[in-house]
Amino acid sequence: MSEEDHAAQERAAKAQKALDRAADGAKAMAEYEAGRAAVEVNTARLRALRLEKERAERQASAAAAVRPKAAGRKARAEEPA
């Protein structure tokens, strides 16, 4: 094999290696973005659940504050055994 052919093969190998790295980088970025999107969706879901829970707690608290206190229970007389 001539020196020129060998140099051409090396250039082709380097070019392929660069293409492979670029493809790997693009794949890694796509995976990162997909993971980030999944985290954002989950965060939004959890936030909605938290806000709903807090709203329900506020309503229950407000309802308890409006409700008059129940009269105390009369102590039952002890029954003879």
Give this prediction's pTM: 0.55
Containing structural domain, residue 50: 21-62
Asked whether the predicted pLDDT for residue 80 surpasses 80, the reply is no
Instruction: Note whether residue 2 is domain-resident.
Output: no
**pLDDT tens by residue, 17-51:** 999 999 999 999 999 999 999 999 999 999 999 99
Instruction: Note whether residue 33 is domain-resident.
Output: yes
Instruction: Note whether residue 9 is domain-resident.
Output: no
Instruction: Note whether residue 51 is domain-resident.
Output: yes
Instruction: Note whether residue 28 is domain-resident.
Output: yes
Asked whether the predicted pLDDT for residue 81 surpasses 70, the reply is no
Asked whether the predicted pLDDT for residue 10 surpasses 90, the reply is yes
Half-sphere exposure of 29 (CA within 13 A, CB side): 6
If one counts the domains in the chain, the total is 1
Contacts of the segment 23-28: beta carbons below 8 A, 24+ positions apart = none
